Amino acid sequence: MRKLIAAAAVLCLLASNSRANLAEWDWLTQYKQPNLHYGQLALHPYYKLAEVYDSNIFLVPHDQPSGQVGGGVKSSWITKNNFGLETNLPWQHINNLSLGYDFEHDHYTTQPSVNDTINQAAHADFAREGAQGVTYKLGDQYINTTDQAFSELIQRERRWMNRVYGEVDYMPKNGRLAYGVDADHETDKYLDPTLAAGLNRYQQDFGFNVGYMVEPKTKVYVSYHRGIIHYTVNPQPGLTDKNSKSHTVAAGVTGKLSPKIEGQVEAGYTYRQYDQAPFAGAQSIHRSPTVATSVTYHPDEYSKIALTLSRYLQESIDPSNPFYYSNNAALDMDHKFPYKFTAGINLAMGIDQYQNAQTFGATNQTRRDDLYQGGAWVEYDIQKWLSTGVAYVFRERNSTFTGQFNYEDSQVTWNASLKF
């Protein structure tokens, strides 16, 4: 609570001194945002510096040292240098190609040899608006990163992921019937050989949707998708095959839901069958409702409220549970104030549910994790291309395996950004 009060005091101090501080930035107001174009090609480089204080970098319980490298609860200052480039190339009024690269280096004052890391991401996306309302999309997305220490899946280890996708949609400008097909192929790979045996896999998903345009920008639809998950490393002795196949049907509405609300509301149902049950007597077939909902409400031109709800099956490292149900809800609100200030708050809650009992030490029971997050932030736009801000976030996990998985963590961040 003291940290919350301190963070609120900092934000109030920034707001109360806003007029006095404006003069300190006068030396920057003479510089205008560069217009980086080469013919039709637009270039958007960016750089962000952040200083973060993290109270629990390994996300471990306060009352129990862990077996992680670094021991129990450790705090650290983290310096994040993040830069990248986004490009956009439209041509012939119907084609658009966007390419991007992102690089981030994180330096920890606590045990830098263990915690320092480099994260990279890249993407290539092509879109074409053809005749008669047909749209084509094709792309590739790549990340090379480290998982958060003590997450459900893994300790802090490096992995990479690559996703290739394609879509074809038909949305007539004057008609009502709409439909589309889509497919994607995702590859996940861990570099540690031991972890690779339980986590390296590819996931394929392909299907179609059929919809009806109730309004020019609003579609009601039904969809079907076939999913395949194949682990690329043979299971270790004593462990079962976690390969699976699934069918998912869904119905929803997407687009402009009302004059001030836009987004997607979807509910579905998944049938998944594993090649093998995780152990004798366990189920190999699972049926579950799913949710994929994200809507944004604009009460006025200065405010935005976004609500996200989801429920899906997430792959798990636990030998007794090839997956767990991941249920999530998030609420984000922001408002643009005078004097170039924007402030916001974010709230989130997650429930991870496992189906089969697990054994940790002398404990054998069904695991459930409840996760909570709340935070607030303030940004000040010195120029359109230059901003600075502060943020605070608090995270907590309460698990049925309290000794191993409960944690509390808070972060305070200052950042400065250049965006062209």
Q: What is the DSSP string of 366-414?
A: --EEEEEEEEEEEEEEEETTEEEEEEEEEEEEEESSHHHH-EEEEEEEE
Of the chain, the percentage scoring pLDDT greater than 70 comes to: 85
pLDDT band for position 148 (cuts 50, 70, 90): low
b/e string for 108-138 if b means 16 or more Cβ within 10 A? beeeeebbeeebebbbebbbeeeeeeeeebe
Helix/strand/coil for 243: coil
pLDDT digits (tens, 9 = 90+) for 316-333: 888 888 899 999 999 999
Instruction: State the chain's mean pLDDT as an integer.
Output: 87
Q: What is the pLDDT of residues 190-201, one digit of tens each?
A: 888 877 877 889
**3-class SS at 292?**
strand
Instruction: Decide if 297 contacts 323 (C-beta within 8 A).
Output: no
How far apart, in Å, are the Cα atoms of 174 and each of 133, 177, 253?
Answer: 9, 10, 19
Give the chain's domains with CATH numbers: 2-419 (2.40.160)
pLDDT at 193: 80
Residue showing tokens 């996760």: 371
- Say how many CA atoms lie within 13 Å of 299 toward its Cβ: 8
Q: What are the DSSP E strand ranges found in 31-133?
A: 37-38, 41-54, 76-91, 95-108, 117-129
Q: What is the rounded average pLDDT of the residues 35-51? A: 91
Most confident of 144-158, 244-258, 268-282: 244-258
Range 388-411 average pLDDT: 90
Determine contact, residues 124/101, Cβ cutoff 8 Å. no
Q: For 333-388, what is each residue's pLDDT tens digit?
A: 999 999 899 999 999 999 999 999 887 666 678 889 999 999 999 999 999 899 99
Write out pLDDT tens, residues 262-299. 999 999 999 999 998 988 888 999 999 999 999 999 99
Beta-carbon contacts of 289 under 8 Å, excluding residues fewer than 6 positions away, are 267, 268, 269, 270, 311
